[in-house]
Structure 1
Amino acid sequence: MIGPNFDAARAVLADLVALQPCASASNEIAALCADVTQSVISETFPGALVPVIDSAGSMQIDVAVPTMSDWRRLKPVLLAFAGPTLTGFDGVPEPFAAIDPIGARLQLAAPAVTAIMRLPADDRARVAALRAVLRARDTLACAPELQRSAPVPTSWLLARFQDYLNVGGRDAATGILDRLRSELRLDALNVKFLEVQLLAVFEDWAAIVDLPEFPSLCVARRTPAITAILLEALYQTHIAGPFDAVNVAETRAAFESSVQSFVQSMSIAAAPAGLRIGGWRLLGLETLSDPDRQDLFAILADRAQDLGWIADLLPAQAPLAPQGVEVAAPIDAAREALVQADAVDSIDLLADAMAAMARLSPDELALLRETMPFRPIVQATDELANIAPPTSWIAWLDRAGDPAFANALDIARRGKDEWEIGASTGDPVAVRALVAALEKVQGDELAAGRTTQALPYLVAWLQRDDEFPRAALSPVYGGLLTLFALGSARGATIYDSSQVLVEGLLASGLGQKAYRDLIADIDEIAGDGFGVDMIYWVLGLVESFMNAATPDASARETFLHRILARIVPIYGRLTRIQQIAVRLLSSELGWSPPGTPVTDVEPADDGLASRLAGLRIAIYSLTESSSRQAKAVLEEISPSVTVDTNADHGGSPRLRALAENSDLFVMTWLSAKHAATDFIREHRGSRTLLYSRGKGFSSIVRAIEAHLSKKA
């Protein structure tokens, strides 16, 4: 198959068929040619074979292979079945002729190797050659896949999903979500919860409320984080407008007509972890509507700042509770805790239920195990071997080295939303305890590996801090980055979340020693050399260091030159857009790659220039220097592309025109204003909207390159 995916290969095949490469052939040869051309979309064939008859009647088969490994697999088979005895093919790569339209179309798919199999003039010999090629294709289809990659665990896919969300990579996160759905890795409800989480990260509240499954999500068993998201989506979609206008009557009317039924169906008895300002206000409106909700009144007592003018309408004190209420017996408390744990998918509530059960006598525990509806809930908690799950990152890190802690990543995924971040940011003792826990796991291979794999969740938890990046937490950022640099798991993948930590450390203001330690960690992560798949990660780091203040200019310059020098061995394998990005950053540093043959290689025509030609592209980012650099890169590749940049803080006529009229619109989510992003989505409609990972110009051009490659 040629192309990065089946849809791209199918588009290539459609274009080739339209060119009618064998229109002048006999019926028998034309049928064989059509069969051979199907190799373009065959997932078992390492490349594409397309027979062509030119205007002079000469016939050849154009060969295009996507990678060098595919070429090493295909070449000996073609030689064995249709080598020099049947065709002119001798196994030597050969470029397509400039006048060959079939070769020109295949070249747009950016093959790593091209070759030509010239067929004899006699029709009988041509039929024999084409049949031999078909036998070669069928043989490859039956051959075992010796380089099949190991299956990726679902827990790793979920960690990668969170990693993309941490850096604003919406398209990449959507790709992981599609894979989880298509491969049936999770049940439909959990996939839908991940979709809700994705939409919430990008504050696409209307899209959440518009989900056909939204009413069902409100009554399903949910995590506290999902409950908080659903409440915020309802508030932003139906209540925010009249509330901000201080229109009490309209706000209460909107709540009662469009929101209240959903809030009541959620059966909220306590404030969910991570509840946002909109959620607090909905609980306040529910309390106004039903003054008997003493449970809600109690949790709203100290939330006046979040409630806004709703706080002025609540009674000064809670309604009087019935007299003579007694403290619940231990077994009643355990029953209530089990009901809560069953209704809400919360590790904290599960821990509370297990603690309540631990206080029961053997007879009381036996009674719960035999009584419905508690029997299945107790059995579920028994499966955890009576070990309560951790309720903080320090407790999680302490358990990370335990081989029996098999659900460590699942607990980390939920803990990022439930575990308190405020206490860790304001208490130096808590910060030191967390740093000590991170240092401790470095001495345990299993604990270090699990913590490295949980890096996206730890970073997501840190980003919940309203003042992220916070200088007081720089030891935590540094400890996590060091652990990642030394961990064995980082060799398998480079998490984009590591760049979040780097930017957080640079922004928090490091001393000279800490700055050099940061450089050492990045050197360790990068290794002695890196591959093409790491190039954008490297470029993003270079941009971060260039844009941040430094306590040691000499160390920074040496480090950046060293990093860029490691690109030299792979420079010739980079795409054109990557080479231009490297050259642009190098020129800003006053550095140029050594004059070696590999750096003199011009990149193969990957077709990006032709796909960019004539397009109008809009880039929205508050980091205007990044927008300008991305514009320069794109215009160097294709002078006919039109690139407009915008940094308005809200809706404007120009931003609306760009949203409505651009062929592509790229939004840098991590460098954007909420009012502007909502405005862009509203006026963009169903047209293509790309989200870049990170804030730098390299992330912008990366998003465009990835999108256009899919369209090839």
Structure 2
Amino acid sequence: MRDIHPGATTFYDAPNEIDVDSLQDEDVELIRVLWSRPADGQRTLLPAKFNNTTRWYGIAESDREGRLLMEEMVSWLGPPLCDHPHVIEEPGDLLDERAKLLTNDGVLLRTCVTDGWQREARQNVRSLVNVWMITPERASDAPRPVGRVLRHFYEAIAARDRNTATEALQEIEAGGMLSAKNRRFLRVELLGSLGTPKELQEDPLLQDISLFRRPPTVTDILAQAADGLYIPPDADNSGSVAWRRIALNIEEAWPGLIVHPSQIRSVSGARCLALAELFAEHPRRGVIDCLRTDWVEDALVAGIAALLESSSERPLKGISTVLGYHHSGEFERVLDAAEQVKPEPGVASAVMHAALNLGDAIAAARAVALVDRLPDLDRRSLLSQAAEGVWYAQLVERNEGAQVPDGWVEWLQGDWPDRPDLLNDWCSSWEREAFAVAGEPDVLALELIDALNDQRRGRIRNGLSVFIRWLVADGGLRPSSVPLAVTVLDIMLNSEPGRAERRVALDLLDEILLTGCTTAEYQTAVTALSDQLVRLGAREVDWLTGILDVQLLSGVPDTRMRGRFFAKALAVAVSWIGRIEEADAIVLSKLFKELGLVFTPALADLPESQSSPRLRAFKRVGIYSLSESAAKNAARWIRDEWPDVDVRLSHAHSGSSELNSFVRGSDVVLMQTSHAKHAATIVIERAIETSRLVRVNGRGATSLFRCLLKWATEAG
């Protein structure tokens, strides 16, 4: 055998059918280059042949390199050249064992070449090697930007993918990207979204978490956990003695959880504040006013507010208003009152202390701004004091700077930190109504075009999903915001979009069609989508089906244009035949059939009347989704595919005995996490084995149906 590599002799012994000595010089040189890469810690591919079938093994020494190599193998050696590459956990034969030894406990991938495509596969590997040669290697320990990791963390939470969210959090910790305190806050968000209240309470890393100054989102998650753990459903009829006992239990679990109205983000927060105020000698007027104005519809809050009213203090008056509010603990009013008077050191000190107690980003920025209004001599004298100097530094650190943007246009224009978590805090105080009428949408659109095409692109991409959530919050997209939403969608899809922008565009299109748009607006959106079709690869089949599904389920103002779009999409789908998985091909065929279009992929050789093959046995399918149209369409497709299967639907907004029975009576439950309520998902996750719960992260009927197809054809 030619001298290629010391390990090659063993690898190419029988039963490996490749005879290196008989290969042409260019093929030997390719193998020599591939064998040389692992010595430098680089991922590589190695050819083998077994039972007259050519294989390509992917060798990677780390999970990160393995993920990159998987994407490269799908792109360069995917169908129809080879089957879909997969990870080899347990070797299936002697060649697998030999390849596994070469990974140094890393990742082993394998794909088998389709008969007749060996030359093309080899040529593609040669092209991939050329790409590797000209691409500068990033150091394996070079951290990704914190904004990108945070974006992936929040995307994983939205998709209810706990493993991926945990990996992102571990990457942040390993790279020291955020402080230990901020990492604990992210852990609260992780467990609050994908865990249980009990996990939040018992997690050793979160002991005494309530003693820290916390972002409002973290406080609200803890409040919801306290509500679920300690406040019974009939608490409003329990009376003051029972209320104080509940308040004591919450205080023991999370001391000082909610003590100010500005910390309230949900009815759970209002309940916790009302209960905590029962221990005040003189209940604060600001707390009572907040509870009565915003949360009185909750029976428990209304009952406690009435009890507090009788012993509350009268409003403060006079020149000592700021210090009086500070003394009584009404920290929101401290900030409001201080901004109306001439700044002086005593007031500034009280304001900083109040902002630290409030803990949110906006309060920190307001306090820093007030301190900076002091005369220079007074400011330097104040900050030279030990306590005040530390307070000021902590307030600046809270926002990674002394200022925060006051709206989306300023965020686009300025050089702000690449921190989606901070952006989420900042935008919570930005008014949507004022934004719509102040003429800012046009300015924002122009700035967005520039920002996605200059050095700001990375930061803006990481914050786009936060902007879309802000735009559609509180009951969905407002009709007055539809023109802006269409413009943003058009800009994103015409600024060299990646997968992140396309995912955001899909969510935005769904909201636009749910709210309703004009014919011209729909035509603008569809034109932008049509331009993307020619740029799509087969790996983005799920995005294509999502775009088709959203338009199929929603009423559109121009059905002819939708028909033309579907026809173009059909041409793209036809070009993918042989390169997409069978489950995706079946989904596309059903989608196109809904509009009278014919898509006939080359599926497995099954009689026309035979259902898709099943490796898992099931007779009853449960679908949980708040989108009734998507669930009904998916149910119809499931019955069409498997006539013997019973399909039941649930659209519950909260946990109940009926939902629990629905789950336990199903062989498999499809839970559409993009259309779900957290209280209901907790009940579902508790009531069924993990192996029988399928989390559907996408939108529409196609995501539900595809996930069931893939689950059904996997080995259990």
TM-score normalised by the chain length of structure 1 = 0.71
Equivalent in the alignment of 1:46: 45
* CA drift at 1:290: 1.9
Q: Does 1:576 align with 2:582?
A: yes
Of residues 559, 563, 566, the one that matches 1:557 is 563
The residue that corresponds to 2:695 in the other structure is 691
Distance between the aligned counterparts of 1:527 and 1:176, measured in 2?
31
> Which among 258, 264, 271 is matched to residue 281 of structure 1?
271
What SS does structure 1 have at the residue aligned with 2:265? coil
Task: Note if 1:401 corresponds to 2:413.
Answer: yes
Name which of 471, 487, 493 aligns with 1:485: 493
Which of residues 457, 468, 493 is equivalent to 2:466?
Answer: 457
CA separation of 1:103/1:472 partners in 2, compared to 1, >3 Å: closer, same or farther? farther
One-letter identity of the residue aligned with 1:665: V
* 2:363 counterpart of 1:349: yes
What's the CA shift for 1:556? Answer: 1.1
Match of residue 510 from structure 1 = 517
Contact 2:288–2:309, Cα closer than 8 Å, also in 1: no
Helix, strand or coil: the match of 1:400? helix
**Residues 1:356 and 1:186: Cα distance change in structure 2 (over 3 Å):** closer
Of the structure 1 ranges 700-709 and 663-672, higher mean CA displacement relative to structure 2 is found in 700-709
Q: Is the 8 A contact 1:166 1:460 kept in 2?
A: no
Which residue in the other structure is 2:332 paired with? none
Could you tell me how far 1:322 is from its partner in structure 2? 7.8
Q: Which residue of 2 aligns with 1:231?
A: 223
The equivalent residue for 1:302 is 293
Could you say if the C-alpha distance between residues 325 and 652 of structure 1 is closer, same or farther in structure 2, counting changes exceeding 3 Å? closer
Q: Is 1:318 paired with 2:327?
A: no
Cα distance, 1:562 vs structure 2: 1.4
User: Do the aligned residues in 2 keep the contact of 1:620 with 1:646 (CA within 8 Å)?
Assistant: yes
| Per-residue Cα deviation, 1:469-494 (whole angstroms, up to 9, x for no partner) | 32222123223222322334x23644
Q: Of the candidates 425, 429, 443, which is equivalent to residue 419 of structure 1? A: 429
The farther-off stretch of 534-543 and 701-710 is 701-710
Higher relative contact order (CA closer than 8 Å, sequence separation 6+): 1
Q: Distance in 1 between matches of 2:467 and 2:714?
A: 32
Aligned to 1:247: 238
Confirm or deny that 1:646 pairs with 2:649: yes
Q: Which SS does the other structure have where 2:517 is aligned?
A: coil
- What letter corresponds to residue 277 of structure 1 in structure 2? V
Cross-structure match for 1:523: 530
Distance 1:159 1:553, change over 3 A: same
Q: 1:276 Cα deviation (Å)?
A: 0.6
Q: How far 1:382 sits from its partner (Å)?
A: 7.0
- Local SS of the residue matching 1:265: coil
Q: How many residues were matched structurally?
A: 601
Equivalent AA in structure 2 for residue 419 of structure 1: S
Q: Among 422, 446, 450, which residue is 1:439 paired with? A: 446
- Write the distance in 2 (CA, Å) between the matches of 1:540 and 1:251: 50
Structure 1 counterpart of 2:209: 217
Partner of 2:111: 111
Preserved contact between residue 409 and residue 454 of structure 1 (Cα < 8 Å): yes
Deviations 1:259-305 (A, max 9, x none): 13356434734522x62111112211222232424263454453334
Change (3 A) 1:424 1:384: closer
- Paired residue type of 1:693: N
Q: Which secondary structure state, in structure 2, belongs to the residue aligned with residue 646 of structure 1?
A: strand
Deviation per CA, 1:412-443, whole angstroms, max 9, x where unpaired?
Answer: 24324x324xx41477524x434533334424
Distance 1:68 1:160 in 2: 17
Q: Secondary structure at the match of 2:587?
A: helix
Shift of 1:254: 4.5
Could you tell me how far apart the structure 2 residues matched to 1:463 and 1:360 are? 39
Residues 655-674 of structure 1 mapped to structure 2, 5 A cutoff: 656=660, 659-660=663-664, 664-672=668-676
Q: Alignment identity in percent?
A: 19
Contact map agreement 1:400 1:446 (CA 8 A) in 2: no
Q: How does 1:46-125 map to 2 (within 5 A)?
A: 46=45, 63-65=55-57, 102=93, 111-113=111-113
Distance 1:267 1:231, change over 3 A: closer
Q: Which residue of 1 aligns with 2:351?
A: 337
What CA distance in whole angstroms lies between the structure 2 residues aligned with 1:154 and 1:161? 10
1:153-172 matches, within 5 Å, as 153-166=145-158
Corresponding position of 2:247: 256
SS at match of 1:690: strand
Distance verdict in 2 for CA 1:580–1:249, change over 3 Å: same
Summarize deviations over 1:208-250 as a string: whole Å, max 9, x none: 3453444422112311221122122212332151335x32257
- Aligned match of 2:18: none
SS in 2 for 1:520: helix
Q: Following TM superposition, by how much is the alpha carbon of 1:186 offset from its aligned partner in structure 2, in angstroms?
A: 4.2
SS at match of 1:46: strand
What is the SS of the residue equivalent to 1:318?
coil
* SS of the residue 1:378 aligns to: helix
Alpha-carbon distance between aligned partners in 1 of 2:650 and 2:583, rounded to the nearest angstrom: 24
- 2-structure distance, mates of 1:181, 1:663: 39
SS at match of 1:666: strand
Contact conserved, 2:173 with 2:183, CA < 8 A, in 1?
Answer: yes
SS of alignment partner, residue 505 of structure 1: helix
Counterpart position of 1:11: none
192 and 337 in structure 1: CA distance in 2 versus 1, 3 angstrom threshold: same
Tell me which residue corresponds to 1:124. none
Q: In structure 1, list runs of 5 or more residues that go unmatched.
A: 1-20, 23-35, 53-59, 75-91, 96-100, 117-139
- SS at structure 1 position matched to 2:669: strand
Per-residue CA distance 1:683-707 (angstroms, 9 max, x = gap): 2366653321233122224555777
Contact 2:513 / 2:555 at 8 angstroms: preserved in 1?
A: yes
TM-score (structure 2 length as normaliser): 0.70
Give the CA deviation at 1:552. Answer: 1.1
Give the 3-state SS of the residue equivalent to 1:591 in structure 2: coil
**1:157 alignment partner AA:** V
2:554 to 540, 548, 556: 548
Residues 455 and 480 in structure 1, CA contact (< 8 A), matched pair in contact too: no
What does the per-residue CA deviation read over 1:47-90, in whole Å, with 9 as the maximum and x for residues that have no partner?
696989xxxxxxx998454679659999xxxxxxxxxxxxxxxx
| Contact preservation (8 Å) 1:581, 1:633 | no
Whether the aligned pair in 2 keeps the contact of 1:618 and 1:658 (CA below 8 Å) is yes
1:546 deviates by 0.6
CA contact (8 A) 2:615 2:715 kept: no
